[in-house]
Structure 1
Amino acid sequence: MKKLSKQVDILKQDYYTKKLTTESFLKIMLFAQLHETESLHAISDALLDEDFQKAVGFDSISASQLSRKNNELDPTVLSTIFLDLVSQIHTHHNQSKNLIPLKIIDSTTLPLNLTNYKWATFRKTKAGVKLHLRLVFMGKDNVYPDKAIMTTADEHDRNQLEVLVDDKEAMYVFDRGYVDYEQFDRMTDDGYFFVSRLKKNAVTRDVYSFKLPGNSTVISDKMVLIGTYQNRAEHYFRLIEVEDTKGNQLRLITNRFDLSADEISYIYRSRWAIELFFKWLKQHVEIKHFYGMTETALQNQIYLALITYCLHVLVRLKANSDKPLLRISRWLKAALWKPSYIFTKWTEPLLVGY
């Protein structure tokens, strides 16, 4: 727990704290995430378990103490843990595979009650926060988040694109909500590759048509200029028209000309992985019921959900397992207080290194 302790000391998180230290709070809240515990009172009641008491170092804690710690803990502590876990996952992939990753960008909105969350501006009758996320795609069922930004729900997606694009060794994939011609030009000038989807009303002008192989599933492949004379991109881009599984025609835009049209089409289809990731978060950790009403409390809970996901990924990677994360989650719940050899030899504790 050295890294965690150092961060806590720097931010002075445990000054005057005798019982509910940051380490103990983290263990309690990760337990709550794993078991999808919906309230602080339910978390407090879970400490009736003797094994849980041994893990955190005390036999009871009130919901009010948990609430106070959740509202006071600097989200930087949890964001640092999240990024360190991401680094461990990334290191594992660098050692085992020599692949250029796809980085998928998208956001999901978490609705909130306007009465209790007036600061979370969204619409006149609704409140909400938005999680802007970058997901590393290393293949089917092999994904992990590596950057997260939380804003109020009224923040437009494309405002975060520049922040989420920072690695020239990756290929970025994002949907039409991020379409910004000026940003497309900047990314191209700076050496970033991307594939996105154009809006239906986007104006394009054909410059050149590429010949498609006979077995291609692509409708057309062209070099184009995009935008009107008043609002257009300066660079030439590649426009690929494909059909989705429902027969709808999609227009994909990219600044990459070295791959085949079918490869670009496959890359864009991989964007679906981030939808599945958001679905997993909402179904298998606890971000539907929030434990606090402040911005800090929400940020902490969302980071805890991401940390829980990353720990699942590390468990699977270090166990060299190809089992789905849902299966890993069930095993963790069943073997949480068991001797480490029952699961694998290295699981003792999950937060090794902190």
Structure 2
Amino acid sequence: MDKNTLISSFGKWVAPINFSHFEKQVAATNQDKYTKKLTTKAYLMLFLYAHLQEEESLRAISDAVLDEDLGQALGLDGISASQLSRKNREVDPSLMANVFLHLVQQIHRHKQGKKRVDLPVKIIDSSTIPLSLSRYKWATFRKTKAGVKLHLRLVFMDKGTVYPEKAIVTPANIHDRTQLEVLIDEKEAMYVFDRGYVDYKRFDRYCDKGIFFASRLKKNAVIRTLETFSVAEESPIMSDSMVVIGTPQKRTENVFRLIETVDSKGNVIRLVTNRFDLSAEEIGDIYRSRWAIELFFKWLKQHVRIKTFFGTSEEAIQNQIFMALIAYCLLVLVQMETKAKQSILQLKPWLKSFLWKSYEKWFHRIQFRSMRRKRKLST
């Protein structure tokens, strides 16, 4: 990118990527050894552009390069769909995964200035992305279906700010519980996950290691109540008790807290946790933050190119998924830098509108709208 591109909104958006470190990794893996035109750096930027614009095919991406501004940013005057296809399957997904993790580290550094008394809430879940069995035979998980699964750890900061922190892409036939040990790897957090991850041995292990969690319990779980706690009449909590879980043959060694409350639809749910220091209402609110990961998966499937793919190889699929996560993290960093009150959903169309204009115009738009919103709330 030249000096003019660096100050465009597109240049500012991708600027958090450490391209110097990225190109060292590319060189170390000989990724561009025989490349004459489409470097891995240009490939990354081009496919981030494709996510932003929600391009539908390699042909559409190839045509987009004919745009003078994009071509100048990439250092390309044109590229064929077949060249894009070849590069898409040749790039090592670990390069994209490393870019994603580097951006997560930057988000962490932004967060360090914000004092938190409570533990950060980290939500764990997965989403299956269906694929055509005839085109993706390597991803078969049923007789008539194929697919991949994105296992994700999402950090919930508040209602307006969430971001992916750890991601694993597997074939769809891999059970969620097999990835739990990878996604839960630190003590200083409160993990939230659904009943599909329930594992009594792991619950005991988390207690022994000092790892806090809250999960929905299966309906058929065997419970033995040791003590019942009082619940206020006006509380949404129906019951709060100390329990052990499981049959006499397979019972937890540690005691847990069982809370019965209602979800947003009025259905009774049972929550299990190893935290006794919070009120039952606080535990209920923490579990309800799980909705954030459902919204995140919905955003990915609707606002970047992740429901359909530009390639059929496992490498092409993983690269596209990791670049979708990179695109989201880049928007989160803009949100943090500008202290924007707008959601990621609102920032993205403004970026598209100001893509090749000075980034100050994009930032001015964000801050102007934030000030207007602040005035409305104060009146």
Question: What interval of TM-score do these two structures reach, taking the shorter chain for normalisation?
Answer: over 0.9
Count of residue pairs the alignment pairs up: 346
How do 1:239-250 and structure 2 match up within 5 A? 239-250=258-269
The residue that corresponds to 1:158 in the other structure is 177
Tell me, yes or no, if structure 1 residue 37 matches structure 2 residue 44. no
2:106 corresponds to 1:88: yes
> How far off its partner does 1:257 sit?
0.6
Deviations 1:233-274 (CA, angstroms, capped at 9, x unpaired):
111110000011222110000011110100000000001100
Whole-Å Cα distance in 1 between the matches of residues 151 and 283 of structure 2?
A: 24
Corresponding position of 2:289: 270
SS of corresponding position for 2:226: strand
Match of 1:352 in 2: none
Q: Is 1:336 aligned to residue 341 of structure 2? A: no
Q: Which amino acid aligns with 1:57?
A: G
Q: Distance in 1 between matches of 2:147 and 2:231?
A: 45
The answer to whether residue 335 in structure 2 is matched with residue 312 in structure 1 is: no
User: What SS does structure 2 have at the residue aligned with 1:138?
Assistant: strand
What do you get for the CA RMSD once the two structures are aligned? 1.3
Q: 1:25 maps to what in 2?
A: 43
Rounded Cα–Cα distance in structure 2 between residues aligned with 1:295 and 1:229: 45
Q: Measure, in 2, the Cα distance between the counterparts of 1:49 and 1:142.
A: 34
Normalising to structure 1: TM-score of the pair? 0.96
- For 1:229, the equivalent position in structure 2 comes to 248
Report how far residue 11 of structure 1 moved.
Answer: 1.4
Q: Give the alignment of 1:1-354 within 5 angstroms.
A: 1-99=19-117, 100-344=119-363
Taking the aligned partners of 2:359 and 2:232, their CA distance within structure 1 comes to 54
Q: Which runs of 5+ in 1 are unaligned?
A: 348-354
Letter in 1 for 2:154: L
Detail structure 1 runs of 4+ shifted over 4 Å in the superposition: none
1:163 aligned counterpart, secondary structure = helix
For 1:229, the aligned partner's letter is P
Q: Distance in 1 between matches of 2:295 and 2:360?
A: 32
One-letter code of the match for 1:54? Q
Q: Distance in 1 between matches of 2:248 and 2:82?
A: 60
C-alpha separation in 2, matches of 1:341 and 1:263: 41
Mapped partners of 2:213, 2:260: distance in 1: 16
SS at match of 2:153: strand
Shift of 1:295: 0.8
User: In structure 2, what is the Cα distance between the partners aligned to 1:103 and 1:189?
Assistant: 19
Moved more, 306-315 or 210-219: 210-219
One-letter amino acid matched to 2:115? K
1-structure distance, mates of 2:109, 2:233: 41
Letter in 2 for 1:32: A
3-state SS, counterpart of residue 137 of structure 2 = coil
CA distance in 2, matches of 1:15, 1:169: 43
Question: In 2, distance between residues paired with 1:97 and 1:309?
Answer: 24
| Cα separation, 1, equivalents of 2:128 and 2:193 | 16
Gaps of 5+ in 2: 1-18, 367-379
- Report Cα offsets for 1:176-223 as digits up to 9, x if no partner: 000000111111111100000001111101110011234422000000
Q: Which amino acid aligns with 2:158?
A: G
Which stretch shifts more, 138-147 or 89-98?
Answer: 89-98
Partner AA of 2:72 in structure 1: K
In the alignment, the residues of structure 2 paired with residue 236 and residue 273 of structure 1 have an alpha-carbon distance, to the nearest angstrom, of: 29
Work out the CA distance in 2 between the residues paired with 1:310 and 1:66. 24
CA distance in 2, matches of 1:290, 1:117: 11
Structure 2 length as normaliser, TM-score? 0.89
- One-letter amino acid matched to 1:155: I
SS in structure 1 at match of 2:113: helix
Secondary structure class of the residue paired with 1:96 = coil
